[in-house]
Amino acid sequence: MTFRQFALHNVFRNSRLYVAYFLSSMFAVMVFFTFANFAFHPAFQEGDMPSSAMKGMLVAGGIIYVFSFFFVLYSMSAFLQSRKREFGLLMLLGMSSRQVKRMTFIENMIIGIFATTFGIGFGLIFSKVILLIAENVLVIDETLNFYFPTKAILLSLVSFIILFLVISFFVTFVLRTKKLVQLIKSDKQSKGEPKASIFLAILAAILLSVGYGVALYVEGVQVVFALLPVVIVVTIGTYFFFTQLSVFVIRRLKKNKHIFWKKTNMLLFSDLSFRMKDNARTFFMVAIISTVAFSAIGTLFGFQAYLTKGIIEANPYSIIYNSMEDEDVKAKVNDVNKILTEENVKANQEVIESKYYEIGVDYPVLIVTASEYNRLAKLINEDSVDPKENQAIVVEDHHANINNFKNDEKLMETKIPLKDGKEIQAYSTISSAVINEMQAYYIINDNDYKYLPEPVKQSTVAAWVILDATDEKLIEVGEKVSESFIEYNNAFSIDYMVYQIERAYGPILFIGLFIGTVFFVSAGSFLYFRLYSDLDNDQEKFKAITKLGLTNDELKKVISRQTAILFFAPIIVALIHGAVALTALKHFFDYNIVYESVIVLSVFAFIQVVYFFIVRHFYTKQIQKAL
Amino acid sequence: MLQVKKINKVYQGKVPYRALTDIDLDVEKGEFVSIMGPSGSGKTTLLNLIATIDEPTSGDIFIDGENPHLLSRNKLAKFRRQQLGFVFQDFNLLNTLTVEENIVLPLTLDGKRVKDMKEKADMIAKKLGISHIMEKRTYEISGGQAQRVAIARATIHHPKLLLADEPTGNLDSKSSRDVMDMLTHINKQEHTTMLLVTHDAQAASYSDRVIFIRDGRLYSEIHRGDSQKAFFQKIIDTLSLLGGNDNDFSSVRPS
């Protein structure tokens, strides 16, 4: 038996011990690979993905890699901790620290290489399955067909071999400066509670409130600049929150004998404090990962809603046409009508003249008469308006106008001079989508219209509302209209446009969902590993306690609470983080995504509850089996 | 061969605890010495200090004229695997390895040639009567066999000093006798110096000399005459003088 054989035997013969470490490493590789697989997908590489989306993918890839690094590091250190006694024994037999390092290095590389290979293998199968599901569920149009991802394989292979190499060097730190006595007796020692300091506790509170404050305060483009600092501040804050707060709470509870000495509480809390260091770290990791998952998915749903719903709200008509200066308006309107006849659909139609005037505001303002406005309003069953003579109604800026100039306030203050010497004064503001105009405009009484000065520009707007047609028909009509107006692109069908957005957005949404799900699932497996690494200890403990007399119900209660704390403490924090992040996002888009946020967050909360019940069931069974 | 000079060991903590006080001990080459004493008397601590598992608070230990506590980490590792052998109460075999692999482990760590290791392992296995279980895994063999494997592992590299901590503690009386016979045999044949920590007067009676420790201090020592039986009786008498906790020795009291 040579030294290398010795190290190999260690891995292969003790597979049960190594399997958890192996599986978590493999899982990390699989996630990264599946992601790289999509990121390098030809559809994205050649396609017309906006550069921001590509940048987003890059950032997401980086996050996954960093996450994998810590995930593997965490699994490895947990794994090495459990083997300290073995190392002590080997060193007693005369293994030099260099040999210990060499041994763990060889072991790590074996596991690393296998984990990488299997991870990529399963990743390939997994991607295919996901793609199949995606094609059937989302509007993707086969753009995400299966391909052999050479680049993704190479990237994953290289990245993870490097990762395992680096992590193998970390072994040195885990085993350094430990006296032999400590190593040999290590399985009886608690890792203890992290140091609690008032300074750090206050720091945690400050960091979190500053992070939240900034996230909720900033608006518009500022959100982008605030993003990174806020993420860093909140992450550090969360870390201290868990390490400090959990220590604080449990110490307080242990001091209070009325609570601590009451029934099974003693078991629960003593156990929590015994594993405080591990628990705090797990809580932190899970909270951060889940936050990323919530925010990613929430963002994507919000963004999609912003795009599609925003457009639908802004364009209540089936087809709308805006004339260009040199166009033959009648012919163009006829073109549309011809298409409608060809497709055999009925539609109501209105045509109005929109005229823009220079009235001393920094843009030419649209002024329409009440009768023209009401004609359009009637077409889509909106309320009609009735401004009196010399009075005007201001229609607010369109909410999609990100610049937030608040032109409506300006228009309220401005008076429109008429040719007969009178002035029109605005008296009220309404919000309306009847005319698709980005900036605020006036509606005036028909009688005032003729006294207006010469318009600086004018165009004809024609609008159609198609009656009783299927979605497919609407999209077909829309496609024809778009083709026919390809020169200026000045007529479009809202249904066709939404369809196109959904088609372009489908893959992005899908990948976002995928990443979010993966993060969420890995948060779950973190908890699972945490719980099961303590299984042996728990079995011993409960065996001892049942001998003293612990009913089955009491046992279940203790396990249930223990698991509940583990599962819900980090998730609640993540939900709060996620809610704040989505609120910040709302400020960025200036579009209300409360509905989408609530849906996403409650779906996750629900899944977590289900997950909790499943894990609790099996864990209780495992414990009971040992009794 | 082994010189222990004015060893003190204090465990630091909230209440510092003095485990050993001014221990002096000389062991000749090829001598077989037992250390006895009640629970908490510091005998295992003393063995751990000699085994370089733990460090003394003050005082020196010389093994063949060399103080292992002054060696660098790497030299210490080499020193352990070449000069020392260990036998424990709970065997401490590696369950990932077969019996044979466990035996050759010290040589493997030293980077010996596979052929040499194989030869030595076969030889020692024959001597200890474990040739037929060489391919077995550690969980497939009995306690007595496991301790023999541990002895094989502790002696395959012909250590100068063999340290044994309660080697019979987990064994039945027959296995205990076998193990002690084996240790005596190795002691006589290979002239390996041996230091044994034990509760078991029967086991201690195999040695040349028994040293008694109480409350971290040397209490007395007795030498073996010609008869092992008389020596056993002498040990029992000293133990009852030593007092401590009566229960410690109840199981070995002759009825």
The answer as to whether A560 is a domain residue is: no
Rg of chain B, C-alpha, whole Å: 18
Judge if A319 and A180 occupy the same domain: no
Contact A444, A370 (CB under 8 A): yes
CA distances (Å), origin A249, targets A6, A260, A527, B224 = 47, 12, 21, 63
The answer as to whether B35 is a domain residue is: yes
Model pLDDT for residues B81-114, shown as the tens digit of each residue: 888 898 988 888 887 788 988 888 888 888 888 8
User: What's at A532, amino acid-wise?
Assistant: Y
pLDDT given for residue B27 in this prediction: 93
Give CA–CA dist B96/A10, Å, rounded: 5
Contact between B73 and A97 using a beta-carbon 8 Å cutoff? yes
The answer as to whether B64 is a domain residue is: yes
Q: Does A97 touch chain B (CB under 8 A)?
A: yes
Which DSSP string corresponds to B72-112?
-HHHHHHHHHHHEEEE-TT----TTSBHHHHHHHHHHHTT-
Which residues of chain B lie closer than 8 angstroms to A184, CB-CB?
Answer: 53
Q: How many CB atoms lie within 10 A of CB A46?
A: 8
Beta strand pairing call for A441-444 and A391-395: antiparallel
Q: Which contiguous run of DSSP H or E holds residue B46?
A: helix B43-50
Q: Which of A441, A465, A500 is the last residue of a domain?
A: A500
Q: B87 has which bridge partners?
A: B164
The answer as to whether A300 is a domain residue is: no
Quick one: DSSP state of residue B248? G
Between B248 and B44, residue with greater pLDDT: B44
Residue A445 backbone phi and psi in degrees, to 5: -65, 140
The answer as to whether B138 is a domain residue is: yes
Rg of chain A, C-alpha, whole Å: 32
Domain that holds residue B17: 2-249
Sheet-wide strand order for B193-197: B84-87, B161-165, B193-197, B32-36, B209-214, B217-223
pLDDT given for residue B232 in this prediction: 92
Query: pLDDT > 90: what percent of chain B?
Result: 35
Give CA–CA dist A34/A152, Å, rounded: 8
Q: What CATH number does the domain containing B238 carry?
A: 3.40.50.300
Say which residue the tokens 């599986």 belong to.
A23
B20 Cβ partners below 8 Å, 6+ apart?
B7, B8, B9, B42, B45, B46, B49, B56, B216, B217
Give CA–CA dist B188/B185, Å, rounded: 5
Which DSSP string corresponds to B152-175?
HHHHTT--SEEEEESTTTTS-HHH
pLDDT given for residue B207 in this prediction: 92
Model pLDDT for residues B25-69, shown as the tens digit of each residue: 999 999 999 999 888 888 888 998 998 888 899 999 999 888 988
The answer as to whether A540 is a domain residue is: no
CA distances (Å), origin A79, targets A82, A86, A159, A160, A254 = 5, 12, 22, 19, 30
Which residues of chain A lie closer than 8 angstroms to B97, CB-CB?
Answer: 1, 6, 9-10, 13
B115 CA: distance to closest CA in chain A (Å): 9
Of B170, B158, B201, B218, residue with least CA distance to B20 = B218
Which range, of A9-18, B193-202, B245-254, averages the lowest pLDDT? Answer: B245-254
Contact between A94 and B81 using a beta-carbon 8 Å cutoff? yes
Which residues of chain A lie closer than 8 angstroms to B109, CB-CB?
Answer: 3, 90, 93-96, 99
Contact A108, A79 (CB under 8 A): no
Q: B212 has which bridge partners?
A: B36, B220
Q: Give me A4's structure tokens.
A: 């290398």
Give CA–CA dist B105/B115, Å, rounded: 14
Give CA–CA dist A443/A391, Å, rounded: 9
The pTM of this model reads 0.64
pLDDT given for residue A187 in this prediction: 56
CA-based nearest residue in chain A for residue B82: A94
Give CA–CA dist A554/A562, Å, rounded: 12
Of A1, A180, A22, residue with least CA distance to A107 = A22
What is the torsion angle, in degrees rounded to the nearest 10, for the CA atoms of residue A573, residue A578, residue A580 and residue A586? -170
Q: Which contiguous run of DSSP H or E holds residue A250?
A: helix A246-255
User: What's at A398, amino acid-wise?
Assistant: H
The answer as to whether A252 is a domain residue is: no
Q: Does B85 touch chain A (CB under 8 A)?
A: no
Q: Which of A500, A528, A555 is the last residue of a domain?
A: A500
Secondary structure of residue B178 in the 3-state scheme: helix
Contact between A179 and B86 using a beta-carbon 8 Å cutoff? no
Contact between A179 and B54 using a beta-carbon 8 Å cutoff? yes
pLDDT bucket at B3, cuts 50 / 70 / 90: very high
Quick one: DSSP state of residue A403? T
- Residues A85-110: b if buried by 16+ CB within 10 A, e if exposed: ebbbbbbbbbbbbebbbbbbbbbbeb
The answer as to whether B156 is a domain residue is: yes
Which range, of A113-117, B135-139, B197-201, averages the lowest pLDDT? Answer: B135-139
**Low pLDDT (below 70) residues in chain A:** 16-17, 43-57, 133-146, 172-179, 183-195, 220, 260, 262-264, 397-406, 507, 511, 590-591
Of A192, A195, A171, residue with least CA distance to A84 = A171
Domain that holds residue A455: 314-500
Q: Does B140 touch chain A (CB under 8 A)?
A: no
Give CA–CA dist A260/A270, Å, rounded: 9
- Count up the domains in chain B and report the number: 1
Give CA–CA dist A131/A42, Å, rounded: 14
CA-based nearest residue in chain B for residue A95: B77
Give CA–CA dist B34/B223, Å, rounded: 10
Q: Give me B215's structure tokens.
A: 């409350």
pLDDT given for residue B22 in this prediction: 92
Residue B67 backbone phi and psi in degrees, to 5: -95, 105
CA-based nearest residue in chain B for residue A177: B73
Secondary structure of residue B59 in the 3-state scheme: strand
The answer as to whether A336 is a domain residue is: yes
Query: pLDDT > 70: what percent of chain B?
Result: 95
pLDDT given for residue B31 in this prediction: 93
Which DSSP string corresponds to B105-159?
HHHHHTT--HHHHHHHHHHHHHHHT-GGGTTSBGGGS-HHHHHHHHHHHHHTT--
Residue B245 backbone phi and psi in degrees, to 5: -95, 120
The answer as to whether B254 is a domain residue is: no
The answer as to whether A241 is a domain residue is: no
CA angle at residue A346 from A345 to A350, to 5 degrees? 130
The answer as to whether A298 is a domain residue is: no
Give rounded-to-5 percent helix, strand, coil for chain B.
45, 25, 30
Instruction: Choose the closest CB to A96 out of B51, B77, B84.
Output: B77
pLDDT given for residue A493 in this prediction: 80
Give CA–CA dist B92/A90, Å, rounded: 10
- Count up the domains in chain A and report the number: 2
Q: Which of A189, A209, A225 is the last residue of a domain?
A: A189
Judged against a pLDDT cut of 50, whether residue B250 lies above it is answered with no
Q: Residue count of chain B, please give it.
A: 255
The answer as to whether A507 is a domain residue is: no
CA distances (Å), origin A374, targets A382, A431, A508 = 8, 14, 40
Contact A97, A173 (CB under 8 A): no
